[in-house]
Amino acid sequence: MVTRNKALLFLSAQTFLVSLGYIITKTASTHSDPVTIMFFRAVLTSLIAAVMLRFIYRVEAATLPDRKVFLRLSFLAVFLNQGCFITGIFLTSTGEAAIIYAMVPVITYVLSLLRREEYFDWKRLSGVLVALGGVILIISAESEGLTGSHFAGNLIILAGAVTWAVYTVESRRYSVQYNPYVFSLKVLQYGILWVAPLGVWVLFQDDPAGIPLQVVWVISYLAIFGTIISYGLWVAGLKVLEPSKVAVFTNGQPIMTTLLSFLILDLSITQTFLTGSVLVISGVLVTQYSGRFGKNGS
């Protein structure tokens, strides 16, 4: 049984695993290319998910919806989101990528508002604008006149955050009806269908047998710890703690990533980056918690 203390421990571990994933992915940028890492990560993740669904969650997997749902959601979660993340992290810094991904709750709120699934609130809107201002500041700060690869990397990371927010909104009703962990495993299993065509490009560009060992470790980490185990820890925490408290750990990921980047990658933390980070995290917190207890905040 998962106790409250265990849930806190699981979520802390999940925050560390995700944050370390940013660092590890960045270290592979000088040894491989994003397409190769994306392809083999999807292959390994899909295989692990398939085995777990077949031997561990066979009964629950039999009750899941039809394949059309998973084809649509896997395109968002695997092909678009993972593709944008890996490509973007090759071009920008880990700290900036983590801060931009912290915008997901804000983007999710805006999408839910447009779909009329949440109510309009001026405080939450102010949080959206503050967070957006922080992202704009970070994206434009060191981007070679808004035309360089660094700027492109930040935009790609932002696109990845948007696709993950869309996936969150689209999958929300299924997470209520089905076991969210089993459902996500099925999404990951179907992801290989979208990524498979990239295998042709990988075979022509590189000899799979010649992929550096460091890249193999990166792919393995992203598939096993950054995806399968990470999401399991997240769902375990949600079973015990309120969503609002679980969300605090999401907000802690940029802080953990920046700290690890400073210690491992010798990332220089500029005043502009700190200012933008404060704006983003503050805006996200306002958006997440304003009006949580009702339209009048009472």
Q: Is the pLDDT of residue 291 over 70?
A: no
Span of 81-85, 144-148, 237-241 with lowest mean pLDDT: 144-148
Q: Return the higher-pLDDT residue of 37 and 255.
A: 37
Q: Is the pLDDT of residue 212 over 90?
A: no
Span of 71-75, 77-81, 216-220, 270-274 with lowest mean pLDDT: 270-274
Q: Which domain holds residue 58?
A: 4-289
Residue 186 resides in a domain: yes
Calculate what percentage of the chain has a pLDDT beyond 90. Answer: 45
Task: Provide the pLDDT confidence category of residue 147 given band limits of 50, 70 and 90.
Answer: low
Residue 8 resides in a domain: yes
Q: What is the mean pLDDT of residues 38-65?
A: 95
Quote the number of domains for the chain. Answer: 1
pLDDT given for residue 294 in this prediction: 41
pLDDT given for residue 151 in this prediction: 85
Dihedral angle of Cα 139, 142, 265, 29, to the nearest 10 degrees? 70
Dihedral angle of Cα 153, 21, 256, 176, to the nearest 10 degrees? 100
Query: In this structure, how many other beta carbons lie within 10 angstroms of the beta carbon of residue 33?
Result: 18
Residue 207 resides in a domain: yes
Q: Is the pLDDT of residue 292 over 90?
A: no
pLDDT given for residue 244 in this prediction: 58
Q: Return the higher-pLDDT residue of 143 and 78.
A: 78
Q: What is the pTM of this model?
A: 0.87
Q: What is the mean pLDDT of residues 204-221?
A: 84
Q: What is the mean pLDDT of residues 118-124?
A: 82
Residue 296 resides in a domain: no
Residue 23 resides in a domain: yes
Burial of 26 (0-12, 13-18, 19+ CB in 10 A): buried
Burial of 277 (0-12, 13-18, 19+ CB in 10 A): buried
Residue 294 resides in a domain: no
Q: Return the higher-pLDDT residue of 165 and 145.
A: 165
User: CB of 193 within 8 A of CB of 129?
Assistant: no
Residue 112 resides in a domain: yes
Q: Is the pLDDT of residue 297 over 50?
A: no
Gyration radius of the chain over CA positions: 19
Residue 295 resides in a domain: no
Q: What CA–CA distance (Å, rounded) separates 57 from 2?
A: 19
Q: Return the higher-pLDDT residue of 33 and 207.
A: 33
